Amino acid sequence: MRLPRALLALAGLLALLLAACAAPTGGSVSAPRSGAAAKPQARSGAGGDYFAGKTVTLQVNYSAGGPTDVTARMLAQHMDKHIPGRPQLVVENKAGAGGLVGKNYIYNVAKKDGLTIGVFSAAFGHQLVGGDGVQYDASKYNWLGGLAETSVAFVGTGTGIRTGRELANTTLELVAGGLAPDTTKDMSLRTFLNMLGLKYKYVTGYPGSADVRLAFQRGEVNFYEDSLTSWFGGFVPMMKDGVLVPLAQKGMYKNGQIVRDPRVPDYPTYQEIAVEARGESVKQTVEYRAMVPLIQLDMMLLAVVYPPGVDPAVVETMRQGLADTYADPEFREAFEKQLGFPYEFVPGAEAQGLAEQIIKNASEDTEALDYLRRLSREKSN
């Protein structure tokens, strides 16, 4: 049976209206293939809701109370407002093997859904020396950002040492505390003492800097090195109480040279003290040369990373969220008030390139690298 022309026209009009209602607004959107999960999107459109109602875990590779943990908890307090969807941020500590357990976990075990972030100190050390149990490549994390800072070396007041020169000339056997032989921190403080030719006992295995701080207070150790975050946050009060004396700083690598970190300008670098005490010839020693890659590694002493395999759109969203957090005047003020110094932030894309370059540069002096590898396997001296 043939329909009247009016009905045909009405049917055509209804079809056009239905098609218009079904068409997406604001650009086309492709539906995912059958059986494939839709990838989370970055900051645009409805994709900004990916993090809404979810929890993002900041996984710290050291115990609670140390510098890495302190920074992670500050991020957890401020970063949510800079992430689309404002997820809840929580901090978990996965300490062990001088931070290696946490680094391996993020690289190999953590889900690739963008809801687990690694907040590490010393991201490169274990890999550099080929430490036992290394199951990660620092250059292949998705770097969200990093922080550059030096470390400060100090002694207990009971040693009677008050300056770097006095340290270089002491006949005391110092007791140096550490986390694990293949951590950057332990290799650095031992290389400093070796460069000066000093006698010392090496006590290692503390889960984190907060634990070494307690050991210092108990008199178990009397020599240590820690980052500015921990120095200002945990050890400066002990200095004011007359428990310890700062002697030197590790320094910063800038424009091909080791220079003082301007945030602690009055503390000479390890290498300055060595040259003053031992003369220019000390620059030819393997210990002096080995200090250079150790300082280069601190260009990003604190790393904020995703595991490999996270969707690039999510990586970019979180990179921007982290950068916005560090650019936030409220966060900067809170950071400086709590920790006592301004931070030096390295944005995600730059940090990614630096991570690749650091691994390459640290391997150039093979003799110095062999020295560090041997040192990383010595659990005592």
Rg (CA), the chain: 26
Of 119, 118, 285, 328, residue with least CA distance to 196: 285
| Together in a domain, 186 and 266 | yes
DSSP symbols for 345-368: EEEHHHHHHHHHHHHHHHTS-HHH
The whole-number pLDDT of residue 362 equals 79
Q: How far does CA 189 lie from the centroid of its chain?
A: 19
Return phi, psi of residue 103, to 5°: -65, -40
User: What residues contact residue 85 under an 8 Å CB cut-off, 6+ apart?
Assistant: 48, 49, 50, 51, 52, 53, 54
| Together in a domain, 253 and 176 | yes
Q: Please indicate, yes or no, if residue 144 is contained in any of the structural domains.
A: yes
Q: Please indicate, yes or no, if residue 101 is contained in any of the structural domains.
A: yes
| Together in a domain, 309 and 252 | no
The whole-number pLDDT of residue 48 equals 65
| Together in a domain, 234 and 162 | yes
For residue range 230-282, list pLDDT tens digits in order: 899 889 999 999 999 999 999 998 888 899 999 999 999 999 999 999 999 99
Q: Please indicate, yes or no, if residue 226 is contained in any of the structural domains.
A: yes
CATH number of the domain that residue 129 is part of: 3.40.190.150
CA distance 263 to 260: 8
Q: Please indicate, yes or no, if residue 13 is contained in any of the structural domains.
A: no
Q: Which domain, by its residues, includes 63? A: 47-148+299-362
State pTM to two decimals.
Answer: 0.73
| Together in a domain, 276 and 303 | no
| Together in a domain, 68 and 176 | no
Q: Please indicate, yes or no, if residue 185 is contained in any of the structural domains.
A: yes
Average pLDDT estimate for 74-99:
95
Cβ atoms 229, 149 nearer than 8 A:
yes
Cβ atoms 193, 200 nearer than 8 A:
yes
> What end-to-end distance do the CA atoms of the chain give, in Å?
102
Q: Pairing relation of β-strands 55-60 and 142-147?
A: unpaired
User: What residues contact residue 141 under an 8 Å CB cut-off, 6+ apart?
Assistant: 106, 107, 118, 123, 303, 305, 306, 307, 308, 355
Burial of 360 (0-12, 13-18, 19+ CB in 10 A): exposed
When pLDDT is cut at 50, 70 and 90, the band that residue 364 belongs to is confident
Q: Please indicate, yes or no, if residue 251 is contained in any of the structural domains.
A: yes
| Together in a domain, 237 and 369 | yes
| Together in a domain, 352 and 370 | no
- When divided into structural domains, the chain yields a total of 2
The whole-number pLDDT of residue 281 equals 97
Average pLDDT estimate for 123-130:
85
- Tell me what the pLDDT averaged over the chain comes to: 86
| Together in a domain, 180 and 287 | yes
| Together in a domain, 160 and 143 | no
User: What residues contact residue 176 under an 8 Å CB cut-off, 6+ apart?
Assistant: 189, 190, 193, 200, 201, 202, 203, 221, 223, 224
| Together in a domain, 215 and 80 | no
Average pLDDT estimate for 217-238:
92
| Together in a domain, 196 and 279 | yes
Q: Please indicate, yes or no, if residue 29 is contained in any of the structural domains.
A: no
CATH number of the domain that residue 186 is part of: 3.40.190.10
Residue with tokens 């075990």, as numbered in its chain? 109
Give the largest CA-CA distance in the chain: 113
For residue range 22-52, list pLDDT tens digits in order: 433 333 223 233 233 333 344 433 246 899 9
Q: Please indicate, yes or no, if residue 24 is contained in any of the structural domains.
A: no
The whole-number pLDDT of residue 30 equals 30
CA distance 214 to 119: 23
The whole-number pLDDT of residue 35 equals 31
For residue range 150-191, list pLDDT tens digits in order: 999 999 999 999 999 999 999 999 999 999 898 889 999 999
Average pLDDT estimate for 363-377:
91
The whole-number pLDDT of residue 15 equals 44
